[in-house]
Structure 1
Amino acid sequence: MRHDDELPLSGGNVSDGVVRIGDTVRRPTGPWTPAVHALLTHLHEVGFGAAPRPLGIDDQGREVLIFMPGDVIWPDRFSLMEPARQLASVARLIRDFHDAVQDFTAPSDARWQTLIPAEGSDIIAHNDLAPWNLVVADEARWAFIDWDAAGPGSRLWDVAYAMHGFIPLSAHPDWQSPNAADRLRVFADAYGLAESERRRLVPLLGRRTRSMHNFLRDQAAQGTQPWARLWAEGHGDAWRNDTEYIEQCEAQWMQALLDSAVTA
């Protein structure tokens, strides 16, 4: 039965069935929902508040999460990421999450929605740390949403994807940053990447971006929605173009990252 006060929430590429009721968000569930709720509960128990807190399942079988107030920054408020200090804040927030999840023990029967197999498995990663999943209310209240794709991954896999979106490492003339190398360094410094991690990260930047192109291509070939629609709209071309741009500039990225690296 539909609540009279349901407010459909739009934005992003996968938002069908997502509604707000008061101070909660209701979303469709999947086999991965119990594991994701265990993850989110752990994060709050160890003091990481920049993620929704789960409240269980409602009478319609939807998951219930605390509503995170604010605006998703992509695309209309992406200018919030332009100052280096804001970009650094995102990097530190991601580091805080990675540190908070480090001692999380997944339930023995955990099932994760593995859309794209990750390189590495040292943590349970978010796997979609991007501007379209960052909600900003004010200087002190930032949060990442949409944790459904969380699952085994690595810090560097998460960081490589986040750098693509937040710097951004884009081939599109409307989004390509003229100081991308400097912003890459700011992000790495704020996160606290050691020199050895930076050397391993640079090749990951292109591979992580290409994985998105390949995922959309494969899902479109199977007619799986909403990915087939996104492929038809040109998202695959955008990910391929970004991959080629990133790979062509690898020497530039490496130089920028090593200029300020901490040896480890």
Structure 2
Amino acid sequence: MGEQHGTVLVVDDDETVRDVVRRYLERAGFDVVLAGDGDEALRQFVARPPALVVLDVMMPGKSGLDVCRELRRTSDVPIVMLTALGEEENRIAGLQLGADDYVTKPFSPRELALRVASVLRRARWTAPEPAQRELSDGDLRLDLAARKATLAGADLALTTREFDLLAFFLTHAGTAFSRTDLLAKVWGWDFGDQSTVTVHVRRLREKIEPDPAAPRRVATVWGVGYRYDPIERS
């Protein structure tokens, strides 16, 4: 059962939280590896590379943000951050460092298990039809089946959510979407913090725009949200 869904590394300094999360994730069919601090998390990550990391922000010593930063130097593994209610700055900082999702404490373990499954489902998604296996715009190319992106022939290091967002933009080029629309269509959230979208758009621009301050591809539509403007127009 666990092998079917993959291994999740759960990092939290609270033993009770770790135990509750472990039981719910195992019940949902995941193998679970636990770590009580940042250093142990990095050791476990190397010893048994997981399919996804659940990472608490506030930990003594090496914080969750520190761990997220170190993981992103070498890995695009999906990361779900655990942040306390009211810790908006930490939540945004986690997204800026490349976290894919977050759950706010106090949280429902069932909700966390559903979020984990959702993120992994998107990370493993492949295009169902050959005609939709690749998206491109000029020197920007996305292989949907391999979940690989390149710009001018060079690999782009995109997180799961960044890849999904870019794929959505390319598929719906020329159409403006609000942040609420994007939360629903890319994240699958009926509610959520719209700054999640803002931060991911900013990170995406830093990776695909020659000048992120004057974007050519991902345009801001004032009063609405964002629109993808193709470099190559048909």
TM-score range, shorter chain: 0.3 to 0.5
Higher strand share: 2
Higher relative contact order (CA 8 A, sep 6+): 1
- TM-score, normalized by length of structure 1? 0.31
TM-score by length of 2: 0.34
